[in-house]
Amino acid sequence: MSHIATILLLGSGELGREFVVSAKRLGARVIADDAPAMQVADAREVFSMLDGAALRTVAEKHRPDLIVPEIEAIRTEVLAELEAEGFAVVPSARSAQLTMNRDAIRDLAAGELGLATSRYRYAESIEEVRAAAGFTGFPCVIKPVMSSSGKGQSTVRDAGELDAAWDHAVAGMRGDRTRVIVEAFVDFDYEITLLTVSHAGGISFCPPIGHRQERGDYQESWQPAPMSAAAIASAQDMARTVVEALKGDGRGWGLFGVEFFVKGDEVVFSELSPRPHDTGMVTLASQNLSEFDLHARAILGLPVPAAIRARPAASAVILADRESDRLGYSGLAEALAEDGTDLRIFGKPTSRPYRRMGVALATAGDVDEARRKARDAAAKVRIDYGA
């Protein structure tokens, strides 16, 4: 055998592609689907992740050592069946089931674990949205229980905006559940992602990552984000609690992206992804072991450092502004001219307005300067439509 493990990657976008690179560097064989990750994988399988029969067929065909979900919209009941039959699901089928929908992970965090969260209600019709907003008050945030990259999310300031927010949420939903979460707007100073690694040696934390969003999707991130010692301790305690709860019967090893709102020393749990996080792209520049390296090490049972450090760094996204299936890129030389800058072009075959097509990375002596350099580099990259 010329590899240490066979990995079936379910969902293979830009995060999946970086994970494939990290896994293959460690000697793994990776099967990916028809997306950016298949450009660097050993084999490809094209099928809908919501087609349970197709998912089972692919798993039984390749008999992978590890099944690694990279998106939320998957037939998680099939993953649970496969796990019960002896397949290893990363980090566990329970994790995939509880994080596929925002309602399940929120109920676990707030209900079972007692973590601090915003006030919230669920709704499956515009009438229920109005009732939920009456409970949370205004402003409130409305988003689908299943979506990706902030699709379908709106901040609503008064009752007159509820109908439009409901329509926007329905249009941005993934999967087959017409359900939203309506939550009270949290008055926060900033928000962070705390990358939490569950591995054979225990649990490790990356330095906190700050990020800025628009339309519910991240635009830039930076690390390390300044936080008080009390706030960091609170976030790590909550992250550890929820990650331990998600392990299920399996090993539960892998990297988790845990999001928090922070105001002073107060920390409020927001969301969790049981896989590398888009805001964590900054770790490609900030850490000696990126989030993708750490995820690969953890799931393969390899050592992960107990203490993970980060140099000041930032990422800034490169967005499309129109639909096209003929794409080229220019301005790369200008973007890379300043020392300490780098680029990742994702190689997506099509674009649409606000679709993330790449990211600029930068390091500097401090986070503010890194953010400036990353923004400047991203602005210099031009997408050439019709190329």
Residues marked as catalytic: 148, 150, 259, 271, 278-279, 356
Find out whether 355 and 325 touch, Cβ atoms under 8 Å: no
CA–CA distance, 297 with 281 (Å, rounded to integer) = 17
Q: Which of 181, 170, 166, 215 is nearest to 102 (CA)?
A: 181
Find out whether 332 and 228 touch, Cβ atoms under 8 Å: no
Over the Cα atoms of the chain, what is R_g?
Answer: 20
Find out whether 258 and 272 touch, Cβ atoms under 8 Å: yes
Q: What does each C-alpha distance from 119 to 102, 107, 111 come to in angstroms?
A: 14, 12, 12
> Could you tell me the sign of the dihedral formed by the alpha carbons of 275, 281, 286, 288, in that order?
positive
DSSP for 182-220 reads EEEPP--SEEEEEEEEEETTEEEEPPPEEEEEETTEEEE
CA–CA distance, 72 with 102 (Å, rounded to integer) = 10
Residue 247 corresponds to which tokens in the numbers above?
A: 């392990």
For strands 29-32 and 6-10, give the pairing.
Answer: parallel
